[in-house]
Amino acid sequence: MLAMLFAGILVALLVNELSRFTRGYKAVSPAQLTQLINRHDALVLDVGAQADFEKGHIVGARHLPLSQVDPGHKLLAKSREAPLVLVDRSGAQSAQAAKKLAKAGFDNVHWLDGGLAAWQQADLPLARGKA
């Protein structure tokens, strides 16, 4: 019984890891995100609510609500191959948006793992108000 349980857990872990490599978008840490911004001029899109964006967002980020994330949107039209990083308060909505854009053919899609909470835990600055 324990061997079957172990085998089940092992298979679940392997499937999870394989899906990470084949999903078409990558999770990044706050440190990796700063490198993408500084070295590759990544476009950072906050897909959270407008009120959350105004309370605090990554400096230079643009606001695009999750409901408006569409491959044909004017903010995204120029970023099909450039680094594109999606963020929100917790990281859940940005992962959904990343998945949608990766399926639409965007090549360089990332999402901030842990969201703005992880950004703040890393003691990185936030801008306030509208961008």
The token pair that represents 63 in the structure block: 């606001």
In sequence order, which residues have a C-beta less than 8 Å from that of residue 58 and are 6 or more positions away?
A: 33, 44, 46, 87, 116, 119, 124, 126, 127
Minimal CA–CA distance to 86: which of 112, 105, 65?
112
Model confidence, pTM:
0.79
Q: What does each of the 131 residues of the chain score in pLDDT, given as a tens digit?
A: 889 999 999 888 887 666 655 567 888 999 999 999 999 999 999 999 999 999 999 999 999 998 998 888 888 877 777 899 999 998 889 988 998 988 888 888 999 999 999 999 999 999 988 75
CATH topology of domain 25-127: Oxidized Rhodanese; domain 1 (3.40.250)
The token pair that represents 99 in the structure block: 């998945």
